[in-house]
Structure 1
């Protein structure tokens, strides 16, 4: 898989119960800011910011600035693209393995 590092980054971002809960909330409510994450999930400010930053750097969420506040929402285009590309890469790798076995 040529984008192995980006897949790892994306999947690691999802490998957290807290981040999955944030994503579930975003799916339900549309947007959230860091202070809502702190209050809703009983986190320190630094922890909430860390989780949002990990999700942002992986391309899973995108920011919208409103004055001094930053609101985050799901980056649905990125999510759809990732899953499509990831599944295609896995299928191609599996097909190549099957072909190698046939030729051997």
Structure 2
């Protein structure tokens, strides 16, 4: 998957507030099952499974089957493409604001 596709997948996955809440619960636990995720929410187990599918596709979570249970955990580095993209624009805008400040100093000494 190209970098832009990965960033788009991560943004789409986290754009949904329920999915974002599911991801946060996973990220705040070492491992968690669908049953545990369902128990702590007002969302059906089927809906939680769909959210998990989107989070897995975006590379944000991984799963570990054990017997009848599947354990989910936040994928280390899953947010890195988004953080890198944001860092690029943080630098971009910092440079632009510095240029603007310098220009304003020239105009109004």
TM class by shorter-chain length?
0.7 to 0.9
Any stretches of 5+ residues in structure 1 without a counterpart?
Answer: 99-104
Q: Could you tell me which runs of 5 or more consecutive residues in structure 2 were left unpaired when the two chains were aligned.
A: 97-109
Show structure 1 runs of 4+ deviating over 3 A.
87-92
How many pairs are equivalent? 93
Three-state SS of the structure 1 residue aligned to 2:38 is: helix
Please list the CA deviations of residues 53-72 of structure 1 after superposition, one character each: whole Å capped at 9, or x if unmatched.
Answer: 10011000011111121110
> What corresponds to 2:46 in structure 1?
46
Report the structure number with the largest CA radius of gyration: 2
TM-score by length of 1: 0.73
| TM-score, length-scaled by structure 2 | 0.70
CA distance in 1 between counterparts of 2:20 and 2:78 reads: 16
Give the root-mean-square deviation of aligned CA atoms. 2.3
Q: Structure 2: how far apart are the matches of 1:21 and 1:84?
A: 19
How far 1:75 sits from its partner (Å)? 0.6
Higher helix share: 1
| TM superposition shift of 1:36 | 1.5
